[in-house]
């Protein structure tokens, strides 16, 4: 018979909360592991009643979804937590935000509603804004046109299993170019395939098809994550939970 840890089992999960947070400023250079440690410490400081796994090494029930790469900022990072007693989502948002360092900002917190599926199932794409400083807009626009006209654009990508060739074109749903203050702005909608195609992979593809080489490192911000809708936009993955809750509250409201 397998050994069991001494003492009572941890309390069960009674509620799941889904959280959107941003990483900004210098915190864009923090690794996902560093961000995870900061979030777990903040949950303790905010006294969120976390549910824990069973076994000899219990750990808080936290699931991270689609973390942005180190060096990029993001307005749309997501995690899901399990708590051992019911909490007001907005109170958790405020307490957690106050417990985090500047640059990690909690933007939204909603209760996961039954029957809406997992959060990961609602995310298959990202929308990115990439600023190319001191790069002529016309040069970027020409490179993007050549890229979109190609059937495939292979780039070499480093993965945990080594380097491999990836078709960057297959992942890009749309790419548009606009002018900014001293920069060209590249707006991308990218499917989250395996391995993931990121803004640096798209820039490598632009270099391959049009010899585009920005003189300064790009500034990339993930503006949204979610599932593509019929018009090519990225839907907010927390909306299904809001809609179900609003419907249930409407049913309970007396006439």
185 Cβ contact list (under 8 Å, min separation 6): 129, 130, 131, 132, 177, 178, 179
| 187: β partners | 129, 176
Asked, for residue 9, whether it belongs to a domain, the answer is: no
Termini Cα distance of the chain: 58
Confidence at residue 1, expressed as pLDDT on a 0 to 100 scale = 46
Separation between Cα atoms, residue 6 and residue 199, nearest integer Å: 49
Range of the domain at 80: 15-121+237-245
Asked if 146 and 51 sit in the same domain, the reply is no
Q: What is the pLDDT of residues 98-128, one digit of tens each?
A: 999 999 999 999 999 998 899 999 999 999 9
Residue-wise pLDDT tens digits, 14-37: 999 999 999 999 999 999 999 999
pLDDT digits (tens, 9 = 90+) for 203-255: 999 999 999 999 999 999 999 999 999 888 999 999 999 998 887 777 665 54
State yes or no: pLDDT of 5 exceeds 70.
no
Same domain, 26 and 99: yes
Total structural domains within the chain: 2
The answer on 161 and 116 residing in a single domain is no
3-class SS string, 2-41 = CCCCCCCCCCCCCEEEEEEEEECHHHHHCCHHHHHHHHHH
117/241 same-domain check: yes
The 10s digit of each residue's pLDDT in 137-191 is 999 999 999 999 999 999 999 887 788 999 999 999 999 999 999 999 999 999 9
Report the CATH number at residue 212: 3.30.70
Grouping H, G, I as helix, E, B as strand and the rest as coil, residue 228 is strand
Distance CA 169, CA 154 (A): 8
Same domain for 114 and 20? yes
Asked, for residue 40, whether it belongs to a domain, the answer is yes
Each residue of 57-107: pLDDT tens digit? 888 999 999 899 999 999 999 999 999 999 999 999 999 999 999 999 999
């Amino acid at each position: 018979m397998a050994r069991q840890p001494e003492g009572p089992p941890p309390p069960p999960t009674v509620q799941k909360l889904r959280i959107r947070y941003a990483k900004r400023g210098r915190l864009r250079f923090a690794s996902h592991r560093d961000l995870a440690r900061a979030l777990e410490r903040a949950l303790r400081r905010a006294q969120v009643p976390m549910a824990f796994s069973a076994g000899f090494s219990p750990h808080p029930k936290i699931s991270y979804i689609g973390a942005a790469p180190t060096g990029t900022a993001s307005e749309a990072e997501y995690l899901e937590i399990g708590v051992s007693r019911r909490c007001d989502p907005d109170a958790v948002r405020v307490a957690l935000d106050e417990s985090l360092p500047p640059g990690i900002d909690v933007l939204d917190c909603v209760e996961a509603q039954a029957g809406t599926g997992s959060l990961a199932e609602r995310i298959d794409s990202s929308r990115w804004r990439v600023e190319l400083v001191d790069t002529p807009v016309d040069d970027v626009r020409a490179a993007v046109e050549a890229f979109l006209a190609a059937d495939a654009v292979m780039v070499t990508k480093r993965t945990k299993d080594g380097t491999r060739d990836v078709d960057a074109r297959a992942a890009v749903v749309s790419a548009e170019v606009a002018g900014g203050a001293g920069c060209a702005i590249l707006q991308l909608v990218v499917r989250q395939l395996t391995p993931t195609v990121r803004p640096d992979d798209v820039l490598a593809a632009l270099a391959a098809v049009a010899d585009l080489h920005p003189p300064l490192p790009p500034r990339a911000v993930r503006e949204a994550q979610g599932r593509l809708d019929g018009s090519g936009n990225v839907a907010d993955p927390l909306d299904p939970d809001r809609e179900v809750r609003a419907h249930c509250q409407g049913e309970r409201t007396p006439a």
